[in-house]
Amino acid sequence: MRNRLRTTIIAGVAATVVAVGMSFAVQPVEGQQGYQAPRTADGMPDLNGIWQAVSSAHYDIEPHAARFGPVVEMAAHGAIPGGLGIVEGGEIPYRPEARAAQQENLQYWMERDPAIKCYMPGVPRATYMPYPFQLVQTPEYVLLAYEFASASRIVYMDRPDFEAPVDSWMGHNIGRWEGETLVIDVTAQMPDTWLDQSGNHHSNSIHVEERYTALSENHLMYEATITDPETYTRPWTVSLPLYRRIDENMQLLEFKCVEFAEELMYGHLRKDPDLTPSFRASGHGSDRQIALEPPQ
């Protein structure tokens, strides 16, 4: 009796060991909801494509009701829509002085928002701005090309020890795979970027850990955990889905917005600044010509 029990137990344990061994054999770790993306030719989850967030997070990443916009003539088009926010837990855990700074940024956001001047938006803001971006995977790199301001960032997939040589607007990006998830560590970002149009800010110490996981053929889940002890009392996370742009012949178009920001930034230095009021009233959005003739 005891021998048969022992044999049974041993057989059961052996079977479990074999089963566990087989499950570690060649199956990749499953994604969050069980979906596994097709593989690239070099065996990694294939996240290639043109993606875009559909969200009001670019206005304000914290939950908020609709509110007035800054330009009277823009009326309904210029007002800020409400949003559920993308901050897990709903509120950014600011240090008190950092929250006060955010409130002041919000009040003066038109003058202070760097993206209004077509400055590169940094990470994670670039992900949820209302413009598409293209993810291109190679064996050694992931390239993220954003339509806004032609901002781009190169993610090094095979150099985990490559330290940032210098600060930059789009950060120093080191990537790795964790099962189905592309993880990107972003360091050395300029302190000048914001997280949205509502004055949410950070310091040069910010460290962002992004996670991109395929939920289906046409959806990614995007999560970004932000650590910055100078600004926040603890790490916190934003998360939102990203949608594949499946439009026929989809491609990024140019949004080289420097041209659109020149009047704002240098208009007061033009030889004939009196032209400014006529530009604003023209109502024409494209190919605005700055007069080259001398004033009479």
Partner 1 sequence: MKRFVFVVAVLCLLPVLPAVAQPGDTSAPRTPWGDPDLMGVWDFRSLTPLQRPSALADKAVLTLEEAATYQRERVAALNKDRRTGDGLSTAGDVANAYNEFWWDYGKELTDDRRTSLVVDPTNGRIPDLTAAAADRRADVRDARRRDAWSPVDRGVSERCILGFNAGPPMNPSAYNNNVQIFQAPGYVVLFNEMVHDSRVVPIDGGPHLPAHVRQWRGDSRGHWDGETLVVESTNFTDKTSFSGSGPGLRLVERFTRIEDDTVLYEYTVDDPESFELPWTVAIQMNVSAQPLFEYACHEGNYGMANLMESARAVDRQTAAGGIK
CB of 142 to partner 1, least distance (A): 9
Distance, CA of 179 to chain centre: 21
Nearer to partner 1, 67 or 271 (CB): 271
Tell me how far apart the alpha carbons of residues 75 and 228 are, in angstroms, rounded to a whole number: 37
Nearer to partner 1, 234 or 268 (CB): 268
Token match 């929250």: residue? 99
Nearer to partner 1, 215 or 275 (CB): 275
Nearer to partner 1, 39 or 67 (CB): 39
CB of 272 to partner 1, least distance (A): 7
Q: What share of the chain is helix, strand, coil (3-state, %, to 5)?
A: 25, 25, 50
Distance, CA of 151 to chain centre: 12
Q: Find out whether the peptide bond into 63 is cis, omega within 30 degrees of 0.
A: no
Nearest to 193, CA basis, from 201, 205, 181: 201
Nearer to partner 1, 3 or 24 (CB): 24
Nearer to partner 1, 84 or 136 (CB): 136
Residue 43: both structure tokens together: 């065996």
CB of 130 to partner 1, least distance (A): 19
CB of 1 to partner 1, least distance (A): 29
Tell me how far apart the alpha carbons of residues 204 and 188 are, in angstroms, rounded to a whole number: 7
Q: State the residues that interact with partner 1 by CB under 8 A.
A: 17-18, 21-22, 24-26, 40-43, 48, 114, 117-120, 134, 136-141, 143, 145, 149-152, 154, 156, 165-166, 168-170, 190, 192, 248-249, 251-254, 256, 258-259, 262, 265-266, 269-272, 290-292, 294
Tell me how far apart the alpha carbons of residues 186 and 66 are, in angstroms, rounded to a whole number: 32
CB of 123 to partner 1, least distance (A): 12
Question: What is the DSSP secondary-structure string of 87-125?
Answer: BTTSS--B-HHHHHHHHHHHHTHHHH-GGGGT----TTH
CB of 32 to partner 1, least distance (A): 23
